[in-house]
Amino acid sequence: AQSVAQPEDQVNVAEGNPLTVKCTYSVSGNPYLFWYVQYPNRGLQFLLKYITGDNLVKGSYGFEAEFNKSQTSFHLKKPSALVSDSALYFCAVRDIRADSWGKLQFGAGTQVVVTP
Amino acid sequence: ETGVTQTPRHLVMGMTNKKSLKCEQHLGHNAMYWYKQSAKKPLELMFVYNFKEQTENNSVPSRFSPECPNSSHLFLHLHTLQPEDSALYLCASSQGWAESSGNTIYFGEGSWLTVV
């Protein structure tokens, strides 16, 4: 079984401050981990993913995420938030076992509000 | 432009109507998906198609009927829906054959469905 948790429904941050959106996961084997962003009335946009290799993954719009196997976490970070980063962020996990083909498990989402 | 195009973007239908949602991907992918996004609920995977073959039906009621005539097109036929089926329906695609490679799923902008 696989699951993903985003413990915060909403994160508030002032523009220019660091932004962190938390994600923890649970899988039986090794995970593939993804972050997506959804702007109002839009679909989900891919930000970044961890497959293997370097634990620090860099993605679109200045975002990065760090894979921490011991803590089963994949937190999304941005050093300096912009008002335009205000959106709904989803973490997702896929177990690499073949019988989970296509089953990308999404978290409930975290609303990020960046104030000027 | 996401490479995955959904039409219509908005649809209002009565409970006795029959309508269809259309999705087309221009990314050369082999796998296509339907997801449902409701308020206050995580994304729900509905159907998965790999090379036009349905590989996943996530216990979706029969009033939702998918069709995948080729790897680039996916339809969701709607019949005698209920008000609780009102949601954002997201189509997605991926280069899904090599499951173990952590292929990214790319989403369309979604079709907002309101059942009255």
pLDDT tens digits for range A78-92: 999 999 999 999 999
pLDDT, mean over chain A: 91
Chain B residues 85-114 with CB within 8 Å of chain A:
90, 92, 94, 96, 99-102, 104-110, 112
pLDDT, tens digit, 9 for 90 and up, residues B59-81: 899 999 999 999 899 999 999 99
Average pLDDT of the segment spanning A41-48:
92
Q: Which helix (H) or strand (E) holds B108?
A: none
Is B101 in Cβ contact with A51 (below 8 Å)?
yes
Chain A neighbors of B108, CB-CB under 8 A: 43
What size, in residues, is chain B? 116
Residue A15 token pair: 């523009």
DSSP letter for each residue of B43-85: -EEEEEEETTEEEEE-S--TTEEEEEEETTEEEEEEES--GGG
Q: Does A42 touch chain B (CB under 8 A)?
A: yes
Chain B residues 49-68 with CB within 8 Å of chain A:
50, 55-56
Say which residue, B54 or A12, is predicted with more confidence: A12
- Distance (Å, whole) CA A92 – CA A71: 16
* Whether B4 contacts B24, CB under 8 Å: yes
Q: Of B4, B96, B104, which has the smallest distance from its Cβ to A49's Cβ? A: B104
CA atoms within 13 A of residue B16's CA, in its CB half-sphere: 0
Is B106 in Cβ contact with A102 (below 8 Å)?
no
What's the DSSP call for residue B19? Answer: E
